Amino acid sequence: MESKVWEIRRKTRRKYSAEEKIRIVLEGLRGEESIAELCRREGIAPNLHYSWNKEFLEAGKRRMMGDTKRQATSGEVRTLRQENSQLKELLENYYLPWELEHQIGRFVDYYNHRRVHESLDNLTPADVYHGRGREIITARNLVKEKTMRRRRRRNLGRKPLSEEDY
């Protein structure tokens, strides 16, 4: 009988999302109520709260030390799978060596000169290699500043500035 009770409890146990865990841990860190009261209200055991708290603080510590490994988002996985299927398609459809070489050359050109890489601050490898990265980021920041000024003026109901005023 007791094993049945444990099995039912195990199957009906609530699963908390990462956002819920973070919210509960942050409430505990705020200290507005005791950990016991917080755990009672949320329906969790205090030792579970403390293990979440430890995980949270260790993850923050790793992040501050520069360990930025993370799980891929579903969008990133989808993009990588799409790229992978395109590469497979490339290899399956070209029987003559020069056709394959031509397509690989096109892909390498796309990858190095057109596709921006998040790990390179959304620059292409060619931009980074040729030292244009700082110049591109500076230009992006100027455009962003102008856009924000323009939006701020429009949202405050003021007359738009002319291009010379920027």
Angle of helix 35-42 relative to helix 18-30, nearest 10 degrees? 150
Residue 57 lies in a domain: yes
Which pLDDT value is given to residue 148? 92
pLDDT at 129: 92
pLDDT, residue 164, reads 58
Identify the pLDDT of residue 98: 83
Contact assessment for residue 29 and residue 53, using Cβ atoms and an 8 Å cutoff: yes
What pTM did the predictor assign?
A: 0.39
Q: Is 110 within a domain? A: no
Which range of residues forms the domain containing residue 44?
2-64
pLDDT at 72: 73
In a domain, 88, yes or no: no
Q: What whole-number distance in Å separates Cα of residue 92 and Cα of residue 105?
A: 16
Residue ending a domain, among 47, 64, 81, is 64
With 0-12 CB in 10 A as exposed, 13-18 as middle and 19+ as buried, what is 147? exposed
pLDDT at residue 143 in the model: 94
- CA–chain centroid gap for 11, Å, is 32
Among the candidates 64, 85, 105, a domain finishes at: 64
Looking at residue 166, its pLDDT comes to 53
And the tokens for 65?
Answer: 């030390």
Greatest C-alpha distance within the chain: 82
- Stretches where the chain sits below pLDDT 70 are 6, 9-12, 67-70, 90, 94, 160-166
pLDDT of residue 77: 87
87: in domain: no
- pLDDT, one tens digit per residue, over 86-95 is 888 767 776 7
